[in-house]
């Protein structure tokens, strides 16, 4: 019986509702502060365009992570998620290997096929083919990172003799896959290194993670080698009743739920510190390895409470459970 994993990440506010504009320097300072506070990873959002009325100004995810990488030493650098079909995979392979070199192996990328048709039309990528393009791009990325010489023909790419060095520091460089449909869960298990989800309750997580693990087993892959994570909104206050109205108002302005997914605003962690810890323990208990906090309006007061009062208790809980497992195994 394997022990529990337990790492704790934090989302960054690289998109804002207009007329507010994201502050690039403040976001780099935020990344530095998140490392100081002991978070394991920082997660940025990825879009080219986001919304029309209202619209949301957004800073490029990879450029921002590069700036944070230059100012930090330990914190993992993550996307939640990168829209892979919008990117040229050969150029992206070079960008990401360079960021991994600059950060000394701290990239933890999560990618998905995307859902926002307007972006695809603007970039010139056929929206209806995004699943096929996602598969091609993943294969090209991974091969350029691991093979000395790459040759092949794909729908949109012809590579007779591709040599790409330097490779990422990490070998393999981890890639999580985001999404909810069964074909995506299979891709996360077989082509990726695990699954990242968004606003899932423990019950919904269990159902989908079981599918991921089954797909891995069917493909001859050990599911114990896979990673997972859940991005969860959180607001700490005197009680759930005291914060719920404000939290839901904010979530319904800033976030969308993909149709057909099991993501729900009801996954939000809310209440006093004890209540929030109890709700988060339920996620750890069902096997969530990476908890990624999306704090209410990214307020520093919320971030500080999470870092200083909630995460230490969750780390202790994971350590205690792992000790119990080791005693039973011994």
User: What are 238-255's pLDDT values in tens digits?
Assistant: 999 999 999 999 999 999
d(CA 210, CA 217): 11
Domain-located, residue 75: yes
Phi, psi dihedrals of residue 314, rounded to the nearest 5°? -70, -40
Question: Nearest Cα to 43, choosing from 58, 56, 18, 62?
Answer: 62
Query: Alpha-carbon distance 33 to 80, whole Å?
Result: 19
What single-letter DSSP state applies at residue 58?
Answer: B
Q: Cα–Cα distance between 98 and 166 in angstroms, integer?
A: 8
Q: Give which of 318, 317, 275, 271 is closest to 296, Cα–Cα.
A: 271
Q: Is the pLDDT of residue 299 over 80?
A: yes
Q: pLDDT-derived band of residue 259, with 50, 70 and 90 as boundaries?
A: confident
pLDDT digits (tens, 9 = 90+) for 58-105: 999 999 999 999 999 999 999 999 999 999 999 999 999 999 999 999
Dihedral of CA 18/24/28/29: which sign? negative
pLDDT band for position 327 (cuts 50, 70, 90): low
Asked if the structure places residue 172 within a domain, the reply is: yes
Taking only Cα atoms into account, the Rg of the chain, rounded to an integer number of angstroms, comes to 20
Expressed as residue numbers, the domain containing 186 is 7-329
DSSP assignment of 260-291: TS---GGG-EEESHHHHHHHHHHHHHTT--EE
> Does residue 74 fall inside a structural domain?
yes
Residue reference for tokens 């792992």: 322
Would you state the pLDDT for residue 1? 35
Question: Coil, strand or helix: which one is 221?
Answer: coil
Provide the domain count of the chain. 1
What pTM was computed for the model?
A: 0.96
Q: Measured at the alpha carbon of residue 150, what is the angle toward residues 222 and 102, in degrees to the nearest 5?
A: 75
4 pLDDT tier (thresholds 50, 70, 90) = low
* CB contact at 8 A, 49 and 18: no
In a domain, 174, yes or no: yes
The reply to whether 1 falls in a domain is no
CATH number of the domain that 70 lies in?
3.20.20.30
- Joined together, the tokens standing for residue 17 give 């509702």
Assigned domain for 90 exists: yes
Is 2 a domain residue?
no
Q: Which residues contact 50 (CB under 8 A, 6 or more apart)?
A: 15, 56, 58, 116
Contacts (Cβ under 8 Å, ≥6 apart) of 122: 48, 49
């Amino acid at each position: 019986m394997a022990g529990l994993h337990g790492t704790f990440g934090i989302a960054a506010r690289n998109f804002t509702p207009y007329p507010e504009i994201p502050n690039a320097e403040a976001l780099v300072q935020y990344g530095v502060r998140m490392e100081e506070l002991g978070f394991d990873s920082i997660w940025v959002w990825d879009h080219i365009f986001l919304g029309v009325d209202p619209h949301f100004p957004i800073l490029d995810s990879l450029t921002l992570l590069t700036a944070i990488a230059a100012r930090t030493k330990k914190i993992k650098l993550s996307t939640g998620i990168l829209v892979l079909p919008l990117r040229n995979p050969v150029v992206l392979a070079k960008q990401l290997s360079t960021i991994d070199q600059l950060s000394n192996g701290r990239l933890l990328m999560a990618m998905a096929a995307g859902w926002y048709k307007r972006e695809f039309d603007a970039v010139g990528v056929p929206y209806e083919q995004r699943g096929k393009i996602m598969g091609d791009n993943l294969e090209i990325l991974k091969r350029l990172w691991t093979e000395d010489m790459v040759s092949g023909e794909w729908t949109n790419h012809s590579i007779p003799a591709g040599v790409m060095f330097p490779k990422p520091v990490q070998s393999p460089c981890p890639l999580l896959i985001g999404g909810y449909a069964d074909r995506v869960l299979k891709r996360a298990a077989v082509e990726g290194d695990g699954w990242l989800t968004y606003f899932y309750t423990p019950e919904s997580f269990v159902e989908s993670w079981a599918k991921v693990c089954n797909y891995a087993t069917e493909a001859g892959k050990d599911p114990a080698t896979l990673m997972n994570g859940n991005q969860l909104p959180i607001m700490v206050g005197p009680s759930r009743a005291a914060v719920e109205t404000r939290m839901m108002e904010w979530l319904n302005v800033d976030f969308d739920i993909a149709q057909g997914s099991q993501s729900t605003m009801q996954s939000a962690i809310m209440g006093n510190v004890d209540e929030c810890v109890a709700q988060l323990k339920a996620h750890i208990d069902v096997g969530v390895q990476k908890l990624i906090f999306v704090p209410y309006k990214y307020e520093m007061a919320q971030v500080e409470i999470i870092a200083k009062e909630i995460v230490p208790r969750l780390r202790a809980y994971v350590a205690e459970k792992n000790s119990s497992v080791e005693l039973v195994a011994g």
